[in-house]
Chain A
Amino acid sequence: ETGVTQTPRHLVMGMTNKKSLKCEQHLGHNAMYWYKQSAKKPLELMFVYSLEERVENNSVPSRFSPECPNSSHLFLHLHTLQPEDSALYLCASSRSGTDYGYTFGSGTRLTVV
């Protein structure tokens, strides 16, 4: 248990569905991140939230919509996804201004059919 919890662990959704991924941290961190990890590709940073404000959006398609209601929770809302969006989605958190690195959740394995 890392202190960062992601749910669900696995998700299968159709291209017309709407679903949400959830991330929760109990570490007192003030920054949260979404990463996409596809087979045989580098880790892709999708979104960065610092103090509940989005500070980075790396050209992610609008079918991915993040939400950070408070410093402990982060969501990724999904709608009308494509099969190439199938991947492991990782959430991480950190404390800004420190060099402790990130703490990651176990990820959500998403399959789009």
Chain B
Amino acid sequence: GNSVTQMEGPVTLSEEAFLTINCTYTATGYPSLFWYVQYPGEGLQLLLKATKADDKGSNKGFEATYRKETTSFHLEKGSVQVSDSAVYFCALIEKGAQKLVFGQGTRLTINP
């Protein structure tokens, strides 16, 4: 079946550091890939997405590139801020399918 694996958290960085959160997936077809973010006390919000190989999703300074050859969709940001502290979820959905498959989430804490 389909699955998503994220790097274990928690991740703690200093402000202005470079961020990478790894995400790899297993899928039978060619899924669409997503990153969701959950700020404290809130639900999940879509951060960015990519729908086909080599697509790059970007939003709020975050980027992720759909790499079919390595089945990866790593999240990156060049300079993190305290306000980026949240839990980040990688997810996939197969074309035409209904169910969004989530990774386990990675908690990110940014210290000033």
Contact B51 A105 (CB under 8 A): no
Contact A102 B43 (CB under 8 A): no
Contact B46 A43 (CB under 8 A): no
| Any B CB within 8 A of the CB of A96 | yes
**Assembly CA distance A56 to B49 (angstroms):** 25
Q: How large is the interface on A (under 10, 10 to 19, 20 to 34, 35 or more residues)?
A: 20 to 34
**Assembly CA distance A77 to B44 (angstroms):** 22
Q: A104-B43, A104-B44 are in contact. Are A31 and B93 (CB under 8 A)?
A: no
| Any A CB within 8 A of the CB of B73 | no
| Any A CB within 8 A of the CB of B100 | yes
A6, A50, A102, A106: residue with the most chain B Cβ atoms closer than 10 Å: A102
| Any A CB within 8 A of the CB of B60 | no
Contact B43 A43 (CB under 8 A): no
| Any A CB within 8 A of the CB of B102 | yes
Q: How large is the interface on B (under 10, 10 to 19, 20 to 34, 35 or more residues)?
A: 20 to 34
Contact A31 B98 (CB under 8 A): yes
- The residue of chain B having its C-beta at the shortest distance from the C-beta of A105 within the complex is B43
Contacts of B89 in A (CB 8 A): 43
Contact B32 A106 (CB under 8 A): no
Q: A43-B89, A99-B51 are in contact. Are A94 and B43 (CB under 8 A)?
A: no
B residues lining the A interface (CB < 8 Å): 32, 34, 36, 41-46, 49, 51, 89, 91, 93, 95-96, 98-100, 102, 104-105
* 21 interchain pairs, CB-CB under 8 A: A31-B98, A42-B104, A42-B105, A43-B102, A43-B105, A45-B99, A48-B98, A55-B98, A92-B43, A92-B44, A94-B98, A94-B100, A97-B96, A99-B32, A99-B49, A101-B36, A104-B36, A104-B43, A104-B45, A106-B42, A107-B43
